[in-house]
A and B are shown apart, each in its own frame.
Chain A
Amino acid sequence: MQNTILVVGAGPAGLAAAASAASGGAKVVLVEKAAKLGGTPILSGYAKLVPSGEWARDAMGRMVKRVEDAKGITVYKDTKVTKLTGEVGNFTATLSNGTSVACGSVILATGFTHFDSINKPEWGFGSFEDVVTTTQVEQMVAAGKIACPSDGRVPERVAILLCVGSRDRQIGREWCSKICCTVSTNLAMEIKELSPTTDVFIYYMDIRTFGLYEDRFYWKSQEEFKTKFVKARIAEVTRAPDGRLLVKGEDTLVKRPIVIPMDLVVHAIGMDPNEDNPEIARVFGVGLEKHGFIDRAEHYTNTCGTTRRGIYAVGAALGPETIDDSISQGTAAAMRALADMNALVQKTA
């Protein structure tokens, strides 16, 4: 019977799981495939996080520090798990650095992969420099300057296209990525803060700023920062002779086609299942649900449980997820793993 919990992935969910498990008395081995801890918010260079408004480097920095300062957490960076044998209470994991880890349970906090806009070529990403993704705008905001990549000018007009890589049967992505609406309305405000004379247009099918994000992001962006919301799914982005971009589509409410000039077009990219999920499913012996995220065996009495006993999944590994909820799930899974291991000890005693 092993008192070690293996946590895979050091993003918000993994860091929360590791810290919680350690504070609950377990030994923790935290494995991260990147060279840095902090996960996507750090690796993709996010600016201010939704909904706290705190800089990603500060927020994630605190989470990383908590893990680094904790007793009983061993961290392996630049490392993957290549093999897992055994069963709940007695797993043996082999790491890519050759280490072998004996553990009682595993928490998969393997996250997601950003949708690659190149898979929607009609929207101009890859063809025109001034078509960028929300991740790139996050980086611009973090660097304190909003500019068109082609020539460095401050854009007079920015179009944010929602649901890029989400809710689209044509590219096999039938899910809503949950947070892009909120992130986009937040980015619209950040763009306005950096350049008050820039007009920001959000092209939407629906606005899904759920829960308390409604007035704090959608309403605020519209009412205080004058973001314009246009109900149109853009069909195509092309370039005008003067070098500006043209967004084409149908304005659903005016019932007429539109061809509107823009300086910067931003794809609000969705969350794909982690591109490594097939490998993760094979190594850990867990099932994937129909979209390719990690599957749950059962929702109500073991929310973080995968299809294999003793292996839990949290955060965006299970489907598009917010940072806050990923952290809660990380903590919940740590609690559950501790409880399950305790039950095993009681049983054998």
Chain B
Amino acid sequence: MAIHEKSLIDPARLQTSDNLVLDGVDVSGHWNTMVLPRYLTDYDTDFARQIRTFSGGENVHRCWQCGSCTNSCTVYAQNTDFNPRYWIYLTNLGLKSEILKDKDIIWTCVSCNRCTNICPKDVKPEGVMKALAHWLEEEGHTPETRSSIFDDEFLGQVYATGRIEDTRVLVNFLRKTNQSLTPPWLIEVGKRMMKYLPVSFLIHMGLHLIFKPRTKSWGRTGDVLREYVREQKEIARKARAMPKEAVHV
């Protein structure tokens, strides 16, 4: 065993090459294990400004690390790895690589806003969590998930028709995620419906599935909405790409 107490070392910093020959000596496997240094070597001084351009992140630089947000956090009570106070600190110093380590839990904020109500510096930590989640998404750190596919399908229908059809959302979602169109739970739903037989509702649903109704006078509303969202994202993207911040920005 080359390294004792491996559990104390962040796995990403342990490097082992399976095949390595040095000066004719085979040092494959754990013989060549190296531990990368754990110190932080720089700040991304523009990062906090970028996060401030996302809705909700405007006040992130105000934080003085009292920890009221984490202490009051609903999610933290369930999962102590969920620490808004810490992520706000990392944001302000621009320690992006540290934030990325937690990319899979930052979005689990439930927006109960207890942190926002208790924050003595009005940082709005809930907003910062939202801003960070959006940043992660924008930068492509969050891969497509079933959840995001569902959201896209849902939003796509709203744009197109000004409404959603439950059945169509469900069917398209199941198709796009390569799932069976007849999962056991859906069959169960069907069975129970048969039991009470809401005839007019079923006919209604069937017709909607075929004729795809639109909200009255929806017209180009969907296109306009889509264009507005695109414009807003573009403006935000430009703001983020701005060179170095000047004072009072």
Q: What is the interface of chain A, defined by CB distance below 8 A to chain B?
A: 157, 192-193, 196-197, 199, 201, 207, 218-219, 222-226, 228-231, 248, 251, 253-254, 256-261
Contacts and interface: CB of A to CB of B under 8 A. Distances in A.
Contacts of B43: 201, 228, 260
Contact of B247 (A226, A230, A259): A226
Given A254-B98, A260-B42, A223 B245 contact: no
Contacts of A223: 61-62
Interface in B85-130: 86, 89-90, 92-93, 95, 98, 121
A256 B98 CA distance: 11
A193 B247 CA distance: 8
Contact of B62 (A207, A222, A261): A222
Contacts of A192: 247
Contacts of A259: 39-41
Contacts, number: 62
Interface string B23-46: 000000000000000111111010
Contact of B39 (A197, A219, A257): A257
A254 B43 CA distance: 13
B247 A225 contact: yes
Interface of B: 38-43, 45, 48, 61-62, 64-65, 86, 89-90, 92-93, 95, 98, 121, 244-249
B39 A256 contact: yes
B216 to A, nearest CB: 49
A139 to B, nearest CB: 22
A261 B45 CA distance: 12
A196 B86 CA distance: 27
Contacts of A257: 38-40
Nearest to A157: B45
A222 B245 CA distance: 14
7 contacts: A219-B62, A225-B247, A251-B40, A253-B65, A254-B90, A258-B41, A259-B39
B237 to A, nearest CB: 22
Contacts of B62: 219, 222-223
Given A222-B61, A223-B61, A228-B93, A254 B248 contact: no
Contacts of A253: 65, 86, 89
Contacts of B92: 228
Nearest to B247: A196
A251 B121 CA distance: 22
A207 B249 CA distance: 24
B39 A258 contact: yes
A260 B65 CA distance: 21
A253 B90 CA distance: 9
Contacts of A226: 48, 61, 245, 247, 249
Contact of A254 (B41, B89, B247, B249): B89
